[in-house]
Amino acid sequence: MLKSTNKLQKLVLISLKLNLYSSIKVAIFYVNLMLRMIFILLKLQKGGVLMKKKHLLLNLFLIAFIAVGNMNIFAQGVTTATINGFVSDSDGSPLPGANVIAVHEPSGTRYGASTRESGVFILPSLKIGGPYTVTVSFIGFNTITKSGIYLNIGQVLKLDFKMTSESVELGELVVTGEVDNVLNSDRTGAETYINADEVIALPSIKRSTRDLTRLDPRSDGNFSFGGKNWLYNNYSVDGSYFNNPFGLDNPSPGGQTNAEPLPYDAIEQVQVSIAPYDVREGGFTGAGINTVTKSGTNNFQGSIYTFYRNESMQGDKVGDAVIINPKLSFNQYGFTVSGPIIKNKLFFFINGELERREDPGTNFTADTDGDPTNNDAGTSRVQASVMDQIRQRMIDVYNYDPGPYQGFNHRTDNEKILMKLDWNINDHNNLTFRYNFLDALRDKPPHPFAISYNNTGRGPNQNSLPFKNAGYTINNELNSFAL
């Protein structure tokens, strides 16, 4: 019994250590909050407001309980990358105290660290993308610089530096290295990265994240990975959960209206993880789909775009067989603008997008000659004269217009915008605020089989034709804030 208890205590300690590691930033915040509250309570105690010590201890206990108990609530996913490595002299001995500076060239963001006694350095929480320039300097040694470095989501890049004494005259110094993104000891599991260049280069019909995640070999092309239903996935944006709690139509918000929650041009990188051995990722048994959005840089940039297609741009043959190709009108257009508010300090990024799509509400027309034997594949046996009489009766007696029964369209419209602010507070702290808005609608026909005679269906089909107003419209609205 004693051995089992010791094992359980060890497991609890390991679990607590992992939670503290994954929530270190939140822990620092709460420690700061606790110190401030202790200071206030001590002042009140000194002023006689709190006369009994047990009241003071009770308040301190409650603050500590809230701080520790809520650490996991604010834990977020992976949105950054890490660079680590080893700095040594020409003999291979470690150089403690060497300065390591990494600069994100597009925004001027600087990250710094000093090597430990073992010569090892770590630069955590780096912006993804690049290019980066990493510089190592130490008194009495020549400065070494590596440039053109790009980082992916969750990547741990290893960079080693061998420094030479300044008293030694050298010719040209060339530092070369090769990074294997697949066979890497710092990888925490099977993952797929889609970087910024691939997002731009890859073809996409719907301009959807789904078109990017299909690059993962375990994907079925429709948000299912490794045979798991998409309801077991976790979809996150900039580290914050972005799942659809209802989830029957799509794992992300806006799925009921066939809308993407994010403008496609706002996507910087996408990461797909199946079984990561990483305490920072969790909450799924399918796949973790982590999207990081773009940020502003020191350069003002902007774009205006539009994408259009109709039925003429879609195939209508399978071999020699011709299939029905209904009318279609799809138009998506938007803009992006980004740049610095304060150079090297404060940046903005905005992407607005509108989508308009029209599909035929029915592919069938009513019979006009009263003889169903000569109808083609797109003509229903329902007579046009009967449908006209029903519609007129509804208008005259009930003052209700059921709408047309043929020749009408269904809309799929949405408007979305993403706004993002990045603030480099100092070399050790930065702050990001993101606002995401979505307003989407989708016209739907009545259920094809519910409340139908002898299970013949409510149509549109060769036996039934519904009126337009027998359907309904789904609305999805989203206002998302992340800090």
User: pLDDT-derived band of residue 160, with 50, 70 and 90 as boundaries?
Assistant: very high
Higher per-residue pLDDT: 239 or 61:
239
Using the predicted structure, report yes or no on whether residue 113 has a pLDDT greater than 60. yes
> What pLDDT, on a 0 to 100 scale, did the predictor assign at position 51?
42
pLDDT tens digits, one per residue of 179-198: 555 555 556 667 888 888 88
- What CATH number should be reported for the domain whose range is 187-288? 2.170.130
pTM flag (> 0.85): no
Using the predicted structure, report yes or no on whether residue 71 has a pLDDT greater than 60. no
Higher per-residue pLDDT: 419 or 370:
419
> What pLDDT, on a 0 to 100 scale, did the predictor assign at position 430?
87
pLDDT tens digits, one per residue of 419-444: 999 999 987 888 999 999 999 999 99
Length of the chain: 483
Query: Which has the minimum average pLDDT: 123-127, 189-193, 258-262, 392-396?
Result: 189-193
> What pLDDT, on a 0 to 100 scale, did the predictor assign at position 2?
37
Q: How many CB atoms lie within 10 A of CB 324?
A: 8
Using the predicted structure, report yes or no on whether residue 52 has a pLDDT greater than 60. no
pLDDT tens digits, one per residue of 335-354: 999 999 999 999 999 999 99
> What pLDDT, on a 0 to 100 scale, did the predictor assign at position 273?
86
pLDDT tens digits, one per residue of 23-45: 454 445 545 555 555 555 555 45
Higher per-residue pLDDT: 33 or 20:
33
Using the predicted structure, report yes or no on whether residue 453 has a pLDDT greater than 70. no
Look up residue 425 and give its two tokens.
Answer: 């507070």
Q: What is the mean pLDDT of residues 360-373?
A: 84
> What pLDDT, on a 0 to 100 scale, did the predictor assign at position 7?
39
User: pLDDT-derived band of residue 61, with 50, 70 and 90 as boundaries?
Assistant: very low
> What pLDDT, on a 0 to 100 scale, did the predictor assign at position 50?
42
What DSSP string runs through 363-423? S-EEESSS-GGG--TTEEEEEHHHHHHHHHHHHHHH------SSS-EEEEEEEEEEEEEEE
> What pLDDT, on a 0 to 100 scale, did the predictor assign at position 18?
39
> What pLDDT, on a 0 to 100 scale, did the predictor assign at position 70?
42
> What pLDDT, on a 0 to 100 scale, did the predictor assign at position 368?
86
Phi, psi of 70 (to 5 degrees): -105, 10
Higher per-residue pLDDT: 323 or 157:
157
Calculate the average pLDDT of the chain.
79
How many Cα atoms within 13 Å fall on the side-chain side of residue 41?
Answer: 18
Q: Assess contact for 202 and 270: CB atoms under 8 A.
A: no
Sheet hosting strand 329-342, strand order edge to edge = 301-310, 329-342, 346-360, 409-424, 430-444, 472-482
pLDDT winner (highest mean) among 127-141, 225-239, 454-468:
127-141
**Surface-to-core class of residue 334, CB atoms within 10 Å of its CB (0-12 exposed, 13-18 middle, 19+ buried):** buried
Domain locations along the chain:
17-74, 81-162, 187-288, 294-483
Looking at domain 81-162, which of 3.40.50.150, 1.20.210.10, 2.60.40.1120, 3.40.190.10 is its CATH number? 2.60.40.1120
Strand partners, 478: 438
Q: What is the mean pLDDT of residues 42-55?
A: 48
> What pLDDT, on a 0 to 100 scale, did the predictor assign at position 322?
67
> What pLDDT, on a 0 to 100 scale, did the predictor assign at position 60?
46
Query: Which has the minimum average pLDDT: 7-21, 155-169, 395-409, 437-451?
Result: 7-21
User: pLDDT-derived band of residue 244, with 50, 70 and 90 as boundaries?
Assistant: confident
